[in-house]
Amino acid sequence: MAYGILSFGAYIPRLRLQRKAIADAHGWFNAALKGQGKGERAIANWDEDAVTMAVEAGRDCLVGQDAAKVEAVQMASTTFPFLDRLNSGVVAEALNLGQDLAASDAGQTQRAATSALISALRGGPATLLMAAEKRPVKAASPLEMTAGDGAAALLVGEGDPVAKLIGSATRTTDFVDHYRTPESEFDYQWEERWIRDAGYMPLVPPVVKACLAKAGIDAADVTRFCMPAVLAKVANSVAKAAGIPDAAVADNLHAVCGETGAAHPLVMLVAALEEAKPGDRIMVVGFGQGADALLFEVTPAIANLPARLGVKGHLARRREEANYSKFLAFNDTIELERGMRAEADKQTPLSALWRNRHTATGFIGGKCSKCGTLQFPKTRICVNPNCTAIDTQENEPFSAKTGKINSYTADRLTYSPDPPACYGMIQFEEGGRWMMDFTDVDEKDLAVGSPMRMMFRVKDVDSQRGFRRYFWKAAPAAHSSGRA
């Protein structure tokens, strides 16, 4: 038995905003944006945030794994939906990982995920580490062009790892390239060339070299070098300074996704593992008030990992979005007149949330122990008219189940941040049915019989109190196109 990365997963939102749409909207004011108007960036739907994306990455990571063996959950982000609520606790509840586990949040730096990974790899309980980011961006800013939304997850523990850590190094120094305070809505960033010349180049190469020295590996033997950096050729310059071949520098996914903040080192690591072969050596670097460097060696177990969507599959699950105004509205960057139907008080009784947490967050239904009938929600009486047994319901998770549309509605009278509000009856393949909201679906594609999968999303937001409710929605089923 060895300790290392047992599994990996990722999540990239379906929508891809064309950067040209941003440049066209603001080129009159900032002509420099036109030079950056190539490619696309992933944008979260209105009902997605760091928590929902972490859940999806965690589900992807746990494909083929025994979730009951997870003993700890960590979530890294600088854009947690809640500042004083355990965000990883919401994730653990949605993933039905039970209550007998440790959970913690890591943030406040772009290397939160790599620092948490170093800690998890020191040994200890089996840990599901997730990193997710949905960064608020100011209109017409460079960050609006370069950022992207997304998440990644790693399962770390003892077993038959697909990659084992052979060296790591870290350095902490208060180099402030950007910052955000509780009072500020957006990041404030300093001049890019200064960040490159005074930050990346002096700080990162020594950490990379220290990592290689600890591993006893020559720089030329690094197969893939994963370092997020939106400044052109910075990763190549750092690699060159450390002696790593230019051919080893990994694609930073800028053209197809954008930079996913604290999650991006893990996103790039997952993308590298999807293409890796036994014996490959992958280095991942996190930069932010210092630097982390981790060097992994891929094992033969990589070939036995079950298929999952991962980075590759989620990038293929895309829909081009050219409507820049929709992006602004989804992120509350502009204030829309949403109409009277949007003014309903959405206060969430916390007592009711607690009592119904297994149903609402875990999506737990029932299975009759007498006749085997599945139903959602779970009730005292079996819904099978030929059974109607009392108190025979056992817990039955519905989140991993697929179903088909029995009926549907595209409602333009009901308020929705992205009209029309699409919902309908889902008939689950194994039994049970439920009237539920749809997400990531286009009205023209709605059809009876369409296969659907369950996704954890924001149900609604109480704008008066800042609370958001989560629930499960039905989305078009995607076929795995990751590692076979």
Total residue length of the chain:
484
Domains located in the chain, CATH noted: 2-330 (3.40.47.10), 340-363+398-476 (2.40.50.840)
Inform me whether the pLDDT recorded for 263 exceeds 80: yes
Model confidence pLDDT, tens digit, residues 100-121: 999 999 999 999 999 999 999 9
pLDDT at 450: 97
Segment 63-69 mean pLDDT: 96
> Is the entire prediction scored with pTM above 0.85?
yes
Q: What mean pLDDT, rounded, does the chain reach?
A: 95
Q: Which of 236-240, 335-339, 463-467 has the highest average model confidence (pLDDT)?
A: 236-240
Task: Summarize pLDDT for 373-408 with one digit per residue, the tens.
Answer: 999 999 999 999 999 999 999 999 999 999 999 999
pLDDT of 479 higher than 50: no
**Among 95, 44, 46, 52, which residue's Cα sits nearest to residue 72?**
95
- Say what angle helices 234-242 and 201-215 make with each other, to 10 degrees: 50
Give the residue-averaged pLDDT of 418-429.
Answer: 97
Tell me the per-residue pLDDT of 174-205, one tens digit each, with 9 for 90 and over: 999 999 999 999 999 999 999 999 999 999 99
2-129-63-453 Cα dihedral, nearest 10 degrees: 180
* pLDDT in the model for residue 482: 42
pLDDT for residue 363 is more than 70: yes
What letter represents residue 8's amino acid? F
User: Amino acid identity, residue 81?
Assistant: P
Mapping DSSP onto H, E and C, the string for the chain reads CEEEEEEEEEECCCEEEEHHHHHHHHCCCCHHHHHHCCCEEEECCCCCCHHHHHHHHHHHHCCCCCHHHCCEEEEECCCCCCCCCCHHHHHHHHCCCCCCCEEEEECCCCCHHHHHHHHHCCCCCCEEEEEEECCCCCCCCHHHHHECCEEEEEEEEEECCCEEEEEEEEEECCCCCEECCCCCCCCEECCHHHHHHHHHHHHHHHHHHHHHHHHCCCHHHCCEEECCCCCCCHHHHHHHHHCCCHHHECCCCCCCCCECHHHHHHHHHHHHHHHCCCCCEEEEEEECCEEEEEEEEECHHHHHCCCCCHHHHHHHCCEEECCHHHHHHHCCCCCCCCCHHHHCCCCCCHHHHHHCHHHHCCCEEEEECCCCCEECCCCCECCCCCCCCECCEEEEECCCCEEEEEEEEEECCCCCCCCCEEEEEEEECCCCEEEEEECCCCHHHCCCCCEEEEEEEEEEEECCCCEEEEEEEEEECCCCCCCC
* Percent of the chain whose predicted confidence (pLDDT) is above 70: 99
What's the rounded mean pLDDT across residues 233-257? 97
Question: Rounded to an integer, what is the distance from CA 143 to the centroid of its chain?
Answer: 19
Contact assessment for residue 382 and residue 368, using Cβ atoms and an 8 Å cutoff: yes
